[in-house]
Amino acid sequence: MRAVVQRVDKAKVVVNDNVAGKIDKGLLVLLGVAADDTEKDLRYIVDKVSGLRIFEDADGKMNLSVADVGGGILAVSQFTLYGDCRKGKRPSFDMAAKAEMAKTYYDTFVLELKKLGLVVETGIFQAHMLVDLVNNGPVTILLDSRKQF
């Protein structure tokens, strides 16, 4: 499982001219599910995202989590995180999970974050989405449950 996590001042997802989800201060999380992901991969990403200390404390150090600052999370499913461009210039998505599995893992990711008391908004799975954000910093973190980066 992969996640691109961005610290944002605000973010929203629009589908067919309607706002599907929006947050103010918090994290925009683009989430990709691999075909061979397991519960262990899901747990790893939930733990990392919920505890990631990328917000500044009173001393200006990145030492606070999204919960510590009362922020929200905007979770957006993005299978293209498993696009493989090593051969040629057209990405292959063979490593990405099929839609049914990906939706199950995405929905569980959102549910687990909510169980931790976090405010979570979402995009719409498999929809064409327009994502609008103000990245603060900019701070962008790449997470991979297999620790490939």
Task: Spell out the per-residue pLDDT of the chain, length 149, in tens.
Answer: 999 999 999 999 999 999 999 999 999 999 999 999 999 999 999 999 999 999 999 999 999 999 999 999 999 999 999 999 999 999 999 999 999 999 999 999 999 999 999 999 999 999 999 999 999 999 999 999 999 87
Angle at 24 between CA 68 and CA 104, to 5 degrees: 80
Class of domain 2-144: alpha beta
Show which residues are catalytic.
78-80
pLDDT at 109: 98
Query: Contact at 8 Å (CB) between 44 and 146?
Result: no
Query: At 129, phi and psi to the nearest 5?
Result: -115, 145
Q: Which stretches within 4-81 are classed as H helix?
A: 39-51
Domain boundaries, the chain: 2-144
Helices and strands (DSSP H and E) totals, the chain: 2, 8
